[in-house]
Amino acid sequence: MRPPFDPTLYLVTDTALAGPRGVPDVVRAAVAGGVTAVQVRDKDASCRQLYALTLSVKEVLAGTGVALFVNDDVEVALMAGADGVHVGQDDLPAAEVRERIGPDRLLGLSTGSDDELDVALALPSGTVDVVGIGPVWTTPTKPDAGAGLGPEGVAALAARAAAGGLRSVAIGGISPERAALVTGVDGICVVSAICAADDPAAAARALREVTTR
């Protein structure tokens, strides 16, 4: 059975932005504020560090029902017993990742254009559980993500994803102030809006207020 996954408010972690508080404590606060899914992402971590970080976050999420994804690293996701893995366009192909992780884990895939979404939609049903669509706005968190698609561009891709049976989350530059502009997706995904917030629980609550309106 694939684990339950609520994409409404999806936190992607950033170790540098979490700072001395540490990622697990930021995740704990964010979940108290209403985050529904978490992805451990740390591009600077070694494999071993990512594994240790994933285990720490898994401990925080135990019993919460919040799904845990690992960014990029399929082996870390499997060894840590995460609920799923999230891959981008430069990572291993989604079909191969699905083969490796089997039917009982979640798979997310980043898409930022019609062509990338076409590839996701052409995969056998059940290969991908959720597509990340973005960036909505240009973001300093991922400068190489390129120009923003804008809320209209995201909504158009999200409509195509939904028509093809794929759930979607929007990512890139989303703040509590901007969140209401993002429509058509099943959830929003943030890094800095929560990880860089003085009060991650309050930031999550503010985002949830918009997503549940």
Residues in contact with ligand TZP by the rule CB under 6 A = 12, 134-135, 139, 141-142, 145, 171-174, 190-193
From residue 183, give the alpha-carbon distance in Å to each of 145, 149, 180. Answer: 20, 13, 7
Closer CB to ligand TZP, 59 or 89, in the complex: 89
The answer to whether the annotation marks 41 as part of a ligand binding site is yes
Determine whether the annotation assigns residue 118 to a binding site: no
Which runs of E-coded beta strand occur in 134-186? 167-171
Quick one: tokens of 67? 């799904």
In a 3-state reduction of DSSP, which class is residue 190? strand
Alpha helices (H) in 34-73, listed in sequence order: 47-61
Which part of the chain contacts Mg ion (CB under 5 A), choosing from 60-68, 81-89, 120-128, 133-141? Answer: 81-89
> In the structure encoding, which two tokens stand for residue 53, read together?
């970080």
Length of the chain: 213
CB of 106 to ligand TZP, least distance (A): 17
Respond yes or no: is residue 58 known to be catalytic: no
Catalytic entry in 41, 98, 105, 208: 41
Which pair of tokens denotes residue 5? 């996954």
Q: Candidates 16-24, 67-75, 101-109, 133-141 — which segment interacts with Mg ion by CB under 5 A? A: 67-75
Q: Is 142 known to sit in a ligand binding site?
A: yes
Q: Is 167 among the residues known to form the active site?
A: no
From the centroid of its chain, how far is CA 88? 11
Site membership for Mg ion, residue 91 (CB under 5 A) = yes
Give the residue among 107, 194, 113 at the shortest CA–CA distance from 161.
113
Ligand-binding site membership of 42 (annotated): yes
Residues that bind Mg ion (CB under 5 A): 72, 88, 91
Enzyme catalytic residues: 41, 110, 142
Residues belonging to the binding site for Mg(2+) are: 72, 91
